[in-house]
A and B are shown apart, each in its own frame.
Chain A
């Protein structure tokens, strides 16, 4: 497409005075008249400037595109890391929960063991007390029986002995008093032990 003489002159004047040149695809449509070297030169400069500007822009847009790609890649890496971190956090929480559960179970076990130990100790104590009571009762009964038999023997034989009578009476009284005293002591100890625990 050829431009009119007036348009050509305006274009050349604007280029000369304002340094403004035609650019874009419209430039590809303009054809100079044969032999118009000035306008041919003008169009050549216009094309060079347009091409140079486009090259620069292309370079920049490619760089931005590359940076965008890298950013997207880094974002993906970040997302993956965040996901891993989240998972690790959850695992840590689970482990903490498990540890807490185990600790509680261990504490429960310890309490149970202490209770069992205490029970065993009490059982042993009761058994010991039982044995002591049994032996004491046997001793009391034995002494009482022997004295009674001895006293009965003297009565049957007709040999009254005032000393033996008073001894039997005293002994029986003492044994009776002592037996109650022993039982009272044992009951007191038992009561005191229960109160302490």
Chain B
């Protein structure tokens, strides 16, 4: 089980889907969902500069195109990895399967790419099985289709 998860996605309805799927899969005890990459950026900046580090989520799922944000999910991952300490398991959760975007995400340090679909649970379950490898940085980048 993952201690805490942060979801950054502009779609409120997906927050509910994700929360219920996580609960049914016993994925986490604590799930926080944000609507914009700017909010997530502010939080990570605060945790990095002021702490406490324990408040930081252990795993972050970021949508690729977050409507109403100053920058997209790939830029958020770059900021978290480059500017705010690179201390979390982080990746993209998106309905897109654009290879160019996947490659960009990989280059900025995303560890996984989950493609959103009506049946998200099997992908999350597969991700949960690989999670320890992501924490240990031993699992290679993977696309969950």
Chain A: residues with CB nearer than 8 A to chain B? 25, 28-29, 50-51, 54-55, 57-58, 61-62, 64-66, 68
**B13 interfacial contact with A, CB 8 Å:** yes
A-B contact pairs, 10 of them (CB 8 A): A25-B29, A28-B26, A29-B29, A51-B23, A51-B24, A58-B24, A61-B13, A61-B16, A65-B13, A65-B14
Return the contact of A66 from the options B16, B20, B29, B118 (Cβ within 8 A): B118
Most buried by A among B16, B23, B29, B30: B23
Inter-subunit contact B14/A57 (CB<8 Å): no
Inter-subunit contact A58/B118 (CB<8 Å): no
**B21 interfacial contact with A, CB 8 Å:** yes
Return the contact of B29 from the options A28, A50, A61, A68 (Cβ within 8 A): A28
Cβ distance A23 to chain B, nearest Cβ, rounded Å: 10
**B17 interfacial contact with A, CB 8 Å:** yes
Q: In the complex, what residues of A have CB within 8 A of residue B24's CB? A: 51, 54-55, 58
Q: In the complex, what residues of A have CB within 8 A of residue B29's CB? A: 25, 28-29
> Which residues B115-136 have CB closer than 8 A to chain A?
118
Most buried by A among B17, B26, B28: B17
Interchain residue pairs A-B with the least CB separation, the first 9? A58-B20, A54-B20, A61-B16, A25-B29, A61-B17, A65-B13, A54-B23, A57-B20, A54-B24
Q: In the complex, what residues of B have CB within 8 A of residue A68's CB? A: 13
Inter-subunit contact A64/B13 (CB<8 Å): yes
Q: How far is the CA of A68 from the CA of B118 in the complex (A)?
A: 13
Q: Mark B1-34, 1 if CB is under 8 A from A, else 0.
A: 0000000000001101100110110101110000
Q: How far is the CA of A28 from the CA of B28 in the complex (A)?
A: 10
Q: In the complex, what residues of A have CB within 8 A of residue B118's CB? A: 62, 65-66
Cβ distance B21 to chain A, nearest Cβ, rounded Å: 6
Q: In the complex, what residues of A have CB within 8 A of residue B17's CB? A: 58, 61-62, 65
Most buried by B among A25, A57, A68: A25
Q: In the complex, what residues of B have CB within 8 A of residue A28's CB? A: 26, 29
Q: How far is the CA of A65 from the CA of B14 in the complex (A)?
A: 8
Closest to B95 in A: A69
Q: How far is the CA of A175 from the CA of B43 in the complex (A)?
A: 126
Cβ distance A126 to chain B, nearest Cβ, rounded Å: 85
Q: How far is the CA of A58 from the CA of B17 in the complex (A)?
A: 6
